[in-house]
Amino acid sequence: MPNPQSGTILGAYRVEGTIGSGSMGEVFRGIDTGLNRRVAIKLLSEKHRDSPELRQRFVREGRAVAAISHPNVVQVFATGSFDDRPYIAMELLDGADLGSIVERSGRLDSLAAAHAVLDAAQGLAAAARAGLIHRDVKPSNLVRLSDGRVKVTDFGLAKPVDPGSEPALTAMGVVVGTPDYIAPEQARGEAIDERVDIYALGGTLYFLLAGMPPFRTGKPAEDKYLKVVARHLRNPPPDAMTVNPACDPELAELARTMMAKKPAERPSYDELIAQLTRIVSRLDPAAVPMLVASRDRSRPIVLPAADRRSDEIGADVGVGDAAEPPLEMPRAGLPGWLVALTFVCIALFVAGLVVYLRRGDADSGSGDMVLVRKRDGTPWFYVEPRPVSAVEFRRMFADHSQPAGADGAVVMVSYNDARAYANTHGYRLLTSEQWDSAVSTPGVELSGELYEWVESTDDKTRLVRRKDRSVPRPDQAQPDVTFRMAKLPP
C-alpha cells in the first residue's frame, strides 16, 4: 500500500500533506480531528516493513519520548499503525533546526548559542533522568521555535541506559550516531552512557560558534567519514576562538571541555546547566533564563497563620497552652538571615578587593603561571613563564627523545601532540595574538632561538612563533620548535 495521501485518516488524525523523509521513514503534516490541533506524523518507511529490529526501534522512539515531559523535548501524543507500519503522532514544531539556521544565516552570536545549548541540555538532562541516551545529538535535531525556545527532536537512535532485552542494533551494521558529533567511546563501540550526548552537544556548541563542525576541514577529500571519526578519536578538541575570535572565551572553552576525550572529564548535566546559566546571565543580565523547577510546582501551598480558622489553631495546641500569649505575626521587612548574609557578602567583597589592589603587576593567580592582561587592565589569560621542559614532557611520554639537553625546553613534538599534552593537563596553546602579549609581559621568558607552536586553523600547515616572526610549518616533530601552555582565568 502506498503512503497515506491528503485526507487519509490515521486513528484520530487526518493527513494534510508531506513534510519530508529520512532514513527511517516519512513525516506527514496532520491534524487531530478531535482537538483540532496540528501534528506531525512519523511513519516507518515501506522498505523497513519486514525488519523486526527497525520496527522495534521505531516503536521505542515513540515510547521513549512519551516518557519525557519537558518543555525542551518534542511532545509525543500517540502511536498507532497504518498498513502494518507503526507511526508516531507528535507536536508539529513551528521553527527551524539549528543546522539550517546556521547554514542560512551564518554562525550564532555567543548569547544565542548559549541559550540554544542551555535549552538542549535541559531537554537531554530530562531524557537522562528518564533513563535514555539520545545518541544522535546534532544541530539538525535541535529545533528553535518562533518564540526562541529550543526543543530536542528525533529520538530514533535513543537507547535505554539499561537495555535489558532490547536488541543490540549496532550488531545489525546500523551506523549509530553522526560522525561529525560522535563521541570517541561511541565510535569505538564501547559501553556508553549519557556523556556521549554531552560530547555531541559540545560539538554542536562549537558548530554554532564557528559555523562548521568541529573536525571538518572544508576539503572533501579530507572530510570523508573515517577521517572525521579518526580526528574525534585522536585530535584534541578544537577551539572556536581560533575560527571566531569574537565568540565568548568561556563559552568556547566550555565546548572544548564538553568534547573531552575521556568521559569522566566532561561536565555533568547539572554542572553544564549551571555554567551555561552563568554565561547567559553574564552576557545579558536582562535575559537570565528561568530553569524548569518541577520541584517548586509540586510543593504544597502553605497559608499564613492569620488566614487559618481559629478552630484549626485550637486543634493544634493542647489545653495546657491556653494561657500562653498569642503568637506575633512576623514583622514586615527583610528576614534576619538575609540581612546577616548580606553583611557577610559585603565583608568578603571588601577583603577580596584589598587582596586585588595589593597584587603586583606580574601576579600569578594560577600556580606559577603569569597573568596576562588586556590593554584596559582586565585579566585575559594565564601563561606558563617558560616552555614545557623535556623532563615534564617525559613524565607523560616516557619514550620521548630529543637532541637537546634533558633540562631544556622540549622539542621534536608535533603540533597535535603539543595540543594533546596541553589539553590533557587542562590547558591550551596560545593564539598568535596572545603569544605577542605574553612575551611582552614581565615574568614571561622567551625560548632563545626556538620557535613555539601556536593555535592554527590549517590542518596541513601550522603556525610557529618567535619574537617578531611568524612562520608556517608542517604538523610534525620539529627540532627547533617547542610550546608553552595557557588557560583562561576561572
pLDDT digits over 74-93, tens only?
988 888 888 888 888 989 98
Structural domain range at position 279: 95-283
Per-residue pLDDT for 313 more than 60? no
- On whether both 82 and 186 belong to a single domain, the answer is no
Tens of pLDDT along 64-74?
A: 777 788 999 99
Q: Answer yes or no: is pLDDT of 301 > 60.
A: no
The answer to whether residues 109 and 82 belong to one domain is no
Is the pLDDT reported for residue 53 higher than 80?
no
Same domain, 220 and 127: yes
Q: What is the mean pLDDT of residues 106-129?
A: 94
Average pLDDT score over the chain: 79
What's the 3-state SS for the chain?
CCCCCCCCEECCEEEEEEEEECCCEEEEEEEECCCCCEEEEEEECHHHCCCHHHHHHHHHHHHHHHCCCCCCECCEEEEEEECCEEEEEEECCCEEEHHHHHHHHCCCCHHHHHHHHHHHHHHHHHHHHCCEECCCCCHHHEEEECCCCEEECCCCCCEECCCCCCCCHHHHCCCCCCHHHCCHHHHCCCCCCCHHHHHHHHHHHHHHHHCCCCCCCCCHHHCCHHHHHHHHHHCCCCCHHHHCCCCCHHHHHHHHHHCCCCHHHCCCHHHHHHHHHHHHHHHCHHHCCCCCCHHHHHCCCCCCHHHCCHHHHHHHCCHHHCCCCCCCCCCCCCCHHHHHHHHHHHHHHHHHHHHHHCCCCCCCCECCEEEEECCCCCEEEEECCCCCEHHHHHCCCCCCCCCCCCCCECCCCCHHHHHHHHHHCCCECCCHHHHHHHHCCCCCCCCCCCEEEECCCCCCEEEEEECCEEEEEECCCCCCEECCCEECCC
How much is the pLDDT for 288?
Answer: 54
Mean pLDDT of 448-460: 84
Specify the pLDDT at position 159: 53
pLDDT band at 449 (very low <50, low <70, confident <90, very high): confident
What is the per-residue pLDDT across 178-219, written as a single tens digit (0 to 9) for each? 689 999 988 887 888 899 999 999 999 999 999 999 999 888
Percent of the chain with pLDDT over 70: 76
More reliable by pLDDT, 219 or 249: 249
pLDDT at 197: 95
- Asked if residue 46 belongs to a domain, the reply is yes
Considering the domain architecture, whether residues 63 and 99 belong to the same structural domain is answered as: no
- Interval 15-22 mean pLDDT: 85
pLDDT computed for residue 431 by the predictor: 92
- The pLDDT, as a whole number, for residue 214 is 94
Q: Is 440 part of a structural domain of the chain?
A: no
Top mean-pLDDT range of 81-90, 96-105, 411-420, 442-451 = 96-105
Predicted confidence band of residue 294 (pLDDT cuts 50, 70, 90): very low
Q: Which of residues 302 and 259 earns the better pLDDT score? A: 259
Does 311 map to a domain?
no
**pLDDT score for 1:** 63
Residue indicated by cell numbers 545549548 = 117
Q: Do 166 and 63 fall within a single domain?
A: no
With respect to residue 221, please indicate whether it lies within any of the assigned structural domains: yes
Instruction: Encode pLDDT of 268-284 as tens digits.
Output: 999 999 999 999 999 98
- Claim to verify: residue 138 and residue 245 sit in the same structural domain: yes
Identify the CATH number of the domain in which residue 69 sits. 3.30.200.20
Residue 128 lies in a domain: yes
Considering the domain architecture, whether residues 214 and 247 belong to the same structural domain is answered as yes
Please check the confidence at residue 127 and state whether its pLDDT lies above 80: yes
Give pLDDT, residue 334.
53
Q: Is residue 228 in some structural domain? A: yes
Instruction: Give me the pLDDT at residue 336, please.
Output: 63
Q: How many CB atoms lie within 10 A of CB 308?
A: 12
Decide which of 215 and 49 is more confident.
Answer: 215
- pLDDT level of residue 347 (50, 70, 90 thresholds): low
57 lies in the same domain as 183: no
Q: Which three cell numbers stand for residue 159?
A: 537507547
Binning pLDDT at 50, 70 and 90, where does residue 115 land? very high
Among 75, 91, 107, where does a domain finish?
91
**Are 69 and 124 within one domain?**
no
List, as own/partner pairs, every contact residues 253-256 make where C-beta atoms lie below 8 angstroms and the sequence separation is at least 24, other chains included. Answer: 253/428, 253/488, 254/202, 254/205, 254/279, 255/202, 255/203, 255/205, 255/206, 255/209, 255/214, 256/202, 256/206, 256/423, 256/428
Boundary (domain end) residue, out of 57, 91, 125:
91
Per-residue pLDDT at 236 exceeds 90: yes
What does DSSP say about strands 95-97 and 150-152: parallel, antiparallel, or unpaired?
unpaired
pLDDT band at residue 398 under the 50/70/90 scheme: low
Residues 121 and 236 in one domain: yes
Spatial separation of the C-alpha atoms in residues 153 and 268, rounded to whole Å: 21
How far apart CA 64 and CA 127 sit, in angstroms, is 8
Query: Does the residue 138 lie in any domain?
Result: yes
Residues 84 and 99 occupy one common structural domain: no
Q: Which residues pair with 452 in a beta bridge?
A: 465, 482
What pTM did the predictor assign?
0.57
Domain count for the chain, please give it: 2
Active site residue 284: no
Catalytic residue of the set 136, 154, 417, 475: 136
**Residues 107 and 188 grouped into a single domain:** yes
